[in-house]
Structure 1
Amino acid sequence: MNEQASRLKVLNRKVPPTMKALVSYGKDDYRFEPEYPTPECGPDDIIIKTEACGVCAGDLKCQHGAAMFWGDETQPQWVKPPFIPGHEFLGTIVEVGENVTGFILGDRVTADQIVPCQECRFCKSGQYWMCQPHNIFGFQQENNGGMAEYVRYPKTSLVHKVPNEMDLESALLIEPYACSKHAVDRALIGCEDIVVISGAGPLGLGMITYARMKNPKKLVVLDLIDNRLEKAKEFGADIVLNPRETDVIQAILDMTDGYGCDIYIEATGHPSSVTQGLSMIRKLGRFVEFSVFGAPTTVDWSIIGDRKELDILGAHLSPYCYPFVIDNISNGNLKTNGVVTRCFPIEQWEEAFEYASGKYGDLKVAITF
């Protein structure tokens, strides 16, 4: 592009040169920037005007310096500051590059959290969610996230249209529910299985409403907060238990003739939930680990091998899940009512992060624009 054409493109832009954004310059160094540069639209890019962005537990752990993001003596730093956080976002297309097809100005869209490179062995085999470079919206400066007025979707983004009639509170759950679906799919739930889901936060609730569609023999949900257990019951749990009030390991053993549950899905990110699950799962059971942890977990690995011969399965991101989730939120099969409990403008991001911690009883908190 010659200099005159470049100047003309800038003059014809429909988005302002600067925007409001939350920017991470380092762990515990997050700043609201009222005039941060707006992303440029390349020939293969899409620019959206952000509608809203959910605050994820991963965002909180990153802000507080968790080693999986910032590195430690055993793992390298993964984040690339300065970056704009946020991966649970959606918006309306305001610019499209000349090479973009299938999308037009005004489309309401969201995208998979990961931006696959399409060149590594994982991408070439269709396992794009494990892309080796692993660039994800909201953690690297090349792929800034949704806690800003405008976001760029680069060429290899996996973009999905969102129905205009879907209410914002439901649309904000597309990304977390897609992750929930992948975790439940990993569990291979059958109709004779007794399933325990540990954690009834937003992602746990997504697992519950989707697991209900699998029609297990019994769906048991554990959480320390009673109002979350009430919501779990509303979303399809058969039995809800509070580990503060009940010996949940013994309760599961009692309802299974001493064998233990068939499937345990860990969705709390707390070490005690891992050891609890290993104690209540039966021999030859399936344990699905979903959470992001803020600290290491120590377990007796002989339980996994010599004692029970368990299948231990990880669950990462949301491969091939967005179309199903969008359709089933739209038709009401996946329940969303009451999960988004509070929204804040970007200027009040500190309050949003504080409420997203759950200390005031909130489930999903979002930043709106």
Structure 2
Amino acid sequence: MKAVVLRGDWEPKPEFRLGPKDIDQKQTYLGSKVWRNPCLGIEEVNIPEPGPGEVLIEVKACGICGSDVHMAQPDADGYIWYPGLTGFPAVLGHEFAGIVKKAGPGAVNKRTNKPFSGGEYVCAEEMLWCARCQPCADGYPNHCEHLDELGFNVDGAFARYIVVPDRVVWSLESLKKLYPGNDLFLAGSLVEPTSVAYNAVVQRAGGIKPGDNVVICGGGPVGLAACAILKSMGAARVILSEPEAGRAAIGRALGADFVVNPLTENFVERVLELTDGYGAKLYLEATGLPTIVYPLIEQCIWDGRTLNSTIVVVARADAKMPVTGEVLQVRRAQIVGAQGHSGEGTFPRVIEAMASGMNMLPMITKKITLDQVPEHIISLRTDRSECKITCLMD
């Protein structure tokens, strides 16, 4: 079968040292310090077979993620942008939905609590947590000590078929009543990025109370999903900071009450104006530009009247945040980090929110074929006019 495969050269930077979970020449948790000269293309690969506790899924839709773009994007020295877990060669793609075609021995469907049978409409978590290590036992699978990730260090979903463990597979049957035809698979492919946002603003930041103000910095898929989630939780004002007009419009469609263009407006003054001088209870940093964005958030907290604000950092970046401890101390504010989407019922809650009317489909601005995926991964390095580009297999 055809698949989108990323290859790279293992050329560690001088300061890099193999960590306890790295595998020499194969895998690292510090991708941008090791992998050089990324090469992206369509290749023929074998159709996988499900083993014990595994499920074979026919992929129907798979979205391009910013991490796909950054794994395939070289910097000035040829090193990939993506700083996290990577192991090449690998089939890319992790935001997907499809149909169960075959199940290995012992694979159990959580919806029915019975063995999987063919025909179930499903999506899957991207993080393949082991369920045996201490973080998994403590309920933090996003921080699994033996983590694998679909499309990062194991083969992903930009292919006709993918095999995944049953523990990360979730039914989409409840979406059938609202999403006809391919819309169901398109919606299902958005469960993963929406779950990243849910984990960030609900699980890690602690959510909000109805009537709170929130500020979302960055109108990528995660930031846009956060707009929908926080508005559905009763936010009084959802303020999205995003310069690109198309993404700003999607943000409004998904729940943003106001949009600030940080390139043409004074971000701090505008946020305080829109909130009557109070600022926000929750700030989401979803831009990956912490040296630029964080000082602005910090100024809003310092100049505003809201105590106990939470800044949640979800975007991945090598750059260090310029934090002023005095602001956190005096304003009783806190910074939390958010990684991934697994655990604490995130996936099923997002699916049920979609089934009850939280429509995320406006995020998808373009549909493409599998053969078109590589060129669009490359174009997204500079083109922000598209939001979510999704591959439909049919």
Give TM class, smaller chain: 0.7 to 0.9
The answer for the alignment partner of 1:336 in structure 2 is: 360
What is the 5 A alignment of 1:226-305?
226-256=245-275, 258-271=277-290, 272-281=292-301, 282=304, 283-293=307-317, 295-305=318-328
Q: Which residue of 1 aligns with 2:350?
A: 325
> Could you tell me how far apart the structure 1 residues matched to 2:134 and 2:316 are?
25
Partner of 1:314: 337
Secondary structure in structure 2 of the residue aligned to 1:181: helix
RMSD: 2.1
User: Match for residue 2 of structure 2?
Assistant: 20
- CA displacement, residues 84-123 of structure 1 (integer Å, 9 cap, x when unaligned): 1111012111221122233211112111111111111111
Task: State how far apart, in whole Å, the 2-side matches of 1:158 and 1:284 are.
Answer: 35
Q: Tell me the alpha carbon deviations over residues 208-247 of structure 1, each in whole angstroms, 9 at most, x when there is no partner.
A: 1110111123221110112222222222222211112211
The one-letter code matched in structure 2 to 1:172 is S
Q: How many residues align?
A: 338
Cα distance change, pair 33–131 in 1 and its aligned pair in 2 (3 A): same
Q: Equivalents in 2 of 1:331, 1:259: separation in Å?
A: 32
- Report what 2:151 is aligned to: 138
Q: Who is 1:99 aligned against?
A: 106
CA distance in 1, matches of 2:323, 2:347: 37
Contact 2:41 2:374 (8 Å CA) reproduced: no
Matched, 1:178 2:190: no
Normalising by structure 2, we get a TM-score of 0.80
Distance 1:321-1:95 versus aligned 2 partners, 3 A rule? same
For the 8 Å contact 1:290–1:316, the answer to whether it is kept is yes
Distance 1:57 1:270, change over 3 A: same
1:203 corresponds to: 222
- CA 1:287–1:21: 2 relative to 1, 3 Å: same
Q: In structure 2, the residue corresponding to 1:362 is in which secondary structure?
A: coil
**Aligned partners of 1:20 and 1:32 also within 8 Å:** no
Distance 2:382 2:119 in 1: 35
Match of 2:169 among 148, 159, 164: 159
Distance 1:62 1:134 in 2: 18
CA distance in 2, matches of 1:311, 1:115: 30
Which amino acid counterpart does residue 331 of structure 1 have in structure 2?
Answer: S
Q: Which amino acid aligns with 2:66?
A: A
Indicate whether 1:212 and 2:231 are aligned: yes
State the SS of the aligned residue for 2:371: helix
Matched-pair contact (CA < 8 Å) for 1:266–1:274: yes
User: Are the counterparts in 2 of residues 278 and 303 from structure 1 also a CA contact under 8 Å?
Assistant: no
Tell me whether 343-352 or 238-247 shows the greater mean CA deviation. 343-352
Instruction: Quote how far apart the aligned CAs of 1:159 are.
Output: 0.8
> Which residue identity lines up with residue 81 of structure 1 in the other structure?
F
* 1:66 to 2:81 alignment: yes
Would the alpha carbon gap of residues 364 and 290 (structure 1) be closer, same or farther in structure 2, given more than 3 Å must change? same
Change (3 A) 1:298 1:177: closer
Alignment of 1:69-88 (within 5 A): 69=84, 78-88=85-95
Aligned partner letter, 1:55: I
Letter in 2 for 1:154: P
Q: Deviations over 1:188-219 (max 9, x none)?
A: 21124221111122211111111011112322
Alignment pair present for 1:45 and 2:54: yes
- Counterparts of 2:122 and 2:381 in 1: how far apart (Å)? 27
Contact 2:5 2:92 in 1 (8 A): yes
Distance 1:31 1:235 in 2: 33
* TM-aligned CA distance change 1:321 to 1:275, over 3 Å: same
Gaps of 5+ in 2: 9-35, 74-79, 110-115
Q: Give CA deviations for 1:171-193 in whole Å, capped at 9, x if unaligned.
A: 22111111111112033211242
Quote how far apart the aligned CAs of 1:264 are: 0.9
